[in-house]
């Protein structure tokens, strides 16, 4: 399984997440996005409706229902109700269900020392588990792969 760590430096997750999800959908994949709380899930879901008036990212949450019909499912639970192959972790979340996915994107705030330290710990755990690891650092002009 491939795990990609996305080190945010130039923008918050609210800006980076829609860009990542657009790529996921363009590649023909479904995704589960895990956030730290129900309130955080709703904040991200609302943001995905309004981040760009010319874009549309079809998604849903527990509040919306019909998980199986949603190409993007936002949740604070360790679940895969839409049969996604991509898992996106935000807010320092972890999953015991990595085997349910082909790829995991771990998005963390590089401007927060605690979030960075926690991401290093998650990297070590993923490495020890034998996952294929990639590390992407955000720059003013986009993402640059720094390590594999």
Q: How confident is the model at residue 90 (pLDDT cuts 50, 70, 90)?
A: very high
Q: What is the pLDDT of residue 119?
A: 97
Tokens of 25: 């959908």
Q: What is the pLDDT of residue 142?
A: 87
Q: What is the pLDDT of residues 28-73, one digit of tens each?
A: 999 999 999 999 999 999 999 999 999 999 999 999 999 999 999 9
The enclosing H or E element of 23 equals: helix 13-26
The residues, ordered by sequence, that sit 6+ positions from 102 with a Cβ below 8 Å of its Cβ are 1, 2, 85, 86
Q: Are 4 and 106 in contact (CB under 8 A)?
A: yes
Domain spans, the chain: 17-104, 108-148
What kind of fold does domain 17-104 have according to CATH? Answer: Rossmann fold (3.40.50)
For residue 80, give the nearest of 108, 127, 89 by alpha carbon. 89
Q: Is the dihedral of CA 34, 126, 7, 22 positive or negative?
A: negative
Is the predicted pLDDT of residue 25 greater than 90, yes or no?
yes
């Amino acid at each position: 399984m491939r795990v990609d760590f996305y080190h945010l430096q130039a923008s918050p997750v609210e800006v980076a997440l829609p860009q990542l999800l657009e790529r996921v959908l363009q590649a023909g994949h479904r995704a589960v996005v895990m956030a730290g709380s129900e309130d955080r899930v709703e904040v991200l879901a609302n943001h995905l409706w309004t981040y760009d008036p010319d874009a549309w990212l079809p998604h849903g949450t527990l509040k919306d229902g019909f998980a199986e019909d949603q190409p993007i499912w936002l949740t604070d639970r360790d679940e895969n109700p839409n049969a996604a192959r991509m898992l996106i972790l935000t807010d320092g979340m972890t999953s015991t269900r990595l085997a349910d996915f082909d790829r995991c994107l771990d998005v963390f705030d590089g401007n927060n020392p605690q979030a960075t330290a926690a991401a290093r710990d998650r990297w070590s755990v993923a490495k020890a588990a034998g996952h294929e690891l990639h590390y992407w650092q955000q720059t003013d002009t986009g993402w640059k792969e720094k390590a594999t």
